[in-house]
Structure 1
Amino acid sequence: MQPLVSVLLPYRNAAETLDEALESVLSEREIDLEIIAVNDGSNDAGPVLVERRAAVDPRIVPISTAGVGIARALSQATAMSRGEFVARMDADDVSINERLQKQVAALSRDPHLGVVGARVEAFADGDLGEGMRRYVEWLNGIITPEDHVREIFVESPLCHPSVMMRRAALDTVGGFQETRWAEDYDLWLRMIGAGVRMAKIPEVGLRWRHRAGRATFTDPRYALARFIEAKGYYLAARLRREGKPVAVWGAGRTGRRVSAALRENGVSPGLFVDIDPRKIGRIAQGAPIVDPAGLERGQWTVVVAVGARGARSLIRGHLDGEGFVEGSDYICAS
């Protein structure tokens, strides 16, 4: 029988947690699924564990690469998979609360949805860290398709191992691709650009493990500078299509870095906006820095790029109060 859901699970040297991850998916017996378990260059006991489990459970399909990296491993897994829906799972996480079944239901109810994620519970052996706690709180607050469109240039709005996608949506944007930045953020940016609708189930569906050595912390493609490059590349393409002059709200470090990334992709902001009286009246990257009172709706597309905690919310409130419309008059990019 052809599975409805194909779960792509790449792993490398994950023997310690792999069995728990597999079991958390296989325990969902209400849906027809397969797990494409990709050994991406392991030298521990993980491949033996997968082969042993596959021998007694045909839902597990083991494949191996020569250690090609996550994007290529996922591409190979996708090519081997057969399901109408393609889900993700990592070898050190735990799928909970019948996540897959609820995601299938969400995609079945709404044929316009292309991706359904889940809220996550992050955990670590030691301290999770304040930055990660704030990120998870933000991510878990993004539920509707409109939320995901609004927040796409702030940060990656989906936890990659928590998602399920229609195969057609994945194929529409060319699948997983190797890039200079994180493969998942690149995928979400391409999907949003292609009009693919994203949402989350409101329940926590994944226990998301963070530990030393995870790619999130060690792979240079996940560094802040690479995320800004990704934003600059895709946001510049959108701004060029819209055709209006661009102003950047934020003349500090974050705003200047986002502005530089836009310039590298052919969009040169003509104005900076800031509330700091020490900056107002100066020049940054060849553009004047002005008080917010200098903004007139319809004249500029405002890119909000500020690093101070809580500042994005305050700026949104100000712009909304002045009649600016998010998504057309302004876009938040940090």
Structure 2
Amino acid sequence: MSLPEVSVVLPAYNAADTLAQALDSLVAQSLETFEVVVVDDGSEDTTWELLTSAAQDDPRIRPVHMEHAGIVPALNLGLEKARGPLIARLDADDVCLPERLALQKAFLDQHHEIGLVGCKVAFGGDREACAGYARYVDWTNTLLTPEAISLGRFRESPLPHPSVMFRASLVQEHGAYRDGDFPEDYELWLRFLDAGVAMAKVDQELVVWNDPPHRLSRNDPRYEVDRFYATKARYLARWLERHNPFHPDIVVMGAGRVSRKRADYLLGHGIRFAAYVDIDPRKVGKVVHGRPVIHRDELQGPGEQFAVSFVASHGAGSDISRFLGSRGWTPGRDFLLAA
């Protein structure tokens, strides 16, 4: 039997209600030369029975059983068992459109400089009840080029995990998923990008990213907001060391308590704050932790200081980018959005 061109790694835990739909969407792919490595992470429902039955119908489905250990060990076992030169991801509660694997493989075949390709995703939840999550999905769908993904990585995770396909060689070169009190996918993207891996997306919706109440990212403390800021701080500090001409000094956009708390993760990595920047007259002119709070109109010109924004309120990033852009500041050269 010839080796697959793509290995889909799909961890499953108590996924009997949704796994069949995910597998059906893979079996229906226009690309035929793939395998699905489904790792049952010690499920207590009928996931294993459903999985082994599906494998009897389609030998491309390869069931793997393990004692319950969590998402990261399941992912890494899937990577170990994968035989293809390309790794695609899918979760047990998401579905692929029929052209997903073919289009992503073709993209990587045509763009040898790209190590990982994603795609746009359709939001499979309630846009009114989960408006914040829906806005996040819409934002990720704007990040299509290597440049946009590289700049966007410090705002949020730029890639929905179930939407990616990457070269298996990246795991040998830069390591597999790491286990800890942090989001394992975001840490992996940051590590790959830090190592110079170029990423892009197919400009089509190829995955339906569902948002059920039991989704791990909603219930596991590793995916809490502060864990994302703690995770990105290490890599952001490394980026600043390479690209900030005034390193280790920056000015922090946002003098509110939440913005300062999130910026403070950088202090443990040797970054120094020369000032906070805000527009709230109740904050401007004060001194916080020995640092002055200045109005954004008091910022020096581009090329005279480097700013990192931690203002996370809806629309703030666009407003700050417009303001700084109107003064000649360039993202990636003079400032970064980190929220």
Return the TM-score normalized by structure 1. Answer: 0.96
Aligned to 1:80: 81
**What is the one-letter code of the residue matched to 1:58?**
P
- How far does residue 250 in structure 1 lie from its aligned partner after superposition? 0.8
CA distance in 2, matches of 1:246, 1:125: 39
Aligned to 2:159: 158
CA distance in 1, matches of 2:264, 2:126: 38
Choose 147-156 or 295-304, whichever is displaced more. 295-304
Aligned to 2:305: 300
How many residues were matched structurally?
A: 334
CA distance in 1, matches of 2:322, 2:331: 11
Query: Is 1:266 matched with 2:270?
Result: yes
SS at match of 1:16: coil
- How far does residue 233 in structure 1 lie from its aligned partner after superposition? 2.0
Choose 75-84 or 118-127, whichever is displaced more. 118-127
- How far does residue 6 in structure 1 lie from its aligned partner after superposition? 0.3
Query: Is 1:319 matched with 2:320?
Result: no
Over residues 39-89 of structure 1, what are the superposed CA-to-partner deviations in whole Å (9 max), with x where a residue is unaligned?
012011111111112123221111122111111111111111111100001
Aligned to 1:286: 290
Aligned to 1:223: 224
CA RMSD of aligned residues (A): 1.6
Choose 221-230 or 308-317, whichever is displaced more. 308-317
- How far does residue 172 in structure 1 lie from its aligned partner after superposition? 2.4
SS at match of 1:270: strand
CA distance in 2, matches of 1:165, 1:77: 14
Taking a change above 3 Å as real, the CA distance of residues 288 and 196 of structure 1, as seen in their structure-2 partners, is same
Choose 97-106 or 237-246, whichever is displaced more. 237-246
CA distance in 2, matches of 1:282, 1:4: 60
Taking a change above 3 Å as real, the CA distance of residues 125 and 18 of structure 1, as seen in their structure-2 partners, is farther
Counterpart mapping for 1:182-197 below 5 A: 182-197=183-198
- How far does residue 255 in structure 1 lie from its aligned partner after superposition? 2.1
Aligned partners of 1:128 and 1:210 also within 8 Å: no
Return the TM-score normalized by structure 2. Answer: 0.94
Choose 240-249 or 162-171, whichever is displaced more. 240-249
**What is the one-letter code of the residue matched to 1:287?**
R
Identity %: 39
Aligned partners of 2:39 and 2:63 also within 8 Å: yes
**What is the one-letter code of the residue matched to 2:222?**
R
Taking a change above 3 Å as real, the CA distance of residues 125 and 260 of structure 1, as seen in their structure-2 partners, is closer
CA distance in 2, matches of 1:126, 1:329: 35
- How far does residue 128 in structure 1 lie from its aligned partner after superposition? 4.4
SS at match of 1:103: helix
**What is the one-letter code of the residue matched to 1:149?**
S
- How far does residue 247 in structure 1 lie from its aligned partner after superposition? 0.8
Counterpart mapping for 1:108-187 below 5 A: 108-124=109-125, 128-187=129-188
SS at match of 1:28: coil
Choose 294-303 or 80-89, whichever is displaced more. 294-303
Aligned to 1:57: 58
Aligned partners of 1:259 and 1:269 also within 8 Å: no
CA distance in 2, matches of 1:320, 1:97: 41
Aligned partners of 1:244 and 1:299 also within 8 Å: no
Aligned partners of 1:281 and 1:288 also within 8 Å: yes
Aligned partners of 1:40 and 1:73 also within 8 Å: yes
**What is the one-letter code of the residue matched to 2:147?**
E
**What is the one-letter code of the residue matched to 1:36?**
V
- How far does residue 221 in structure 1 lie from its aligned partner after superposition? 0.5
**What is the one-letter code of the residue matched to 2:160?**
C
- How far does residue 263 in structure 1 lie from its aligned partner after superposition? 1.2
CA distance in 2, matches of 1:54, 1:126: 35
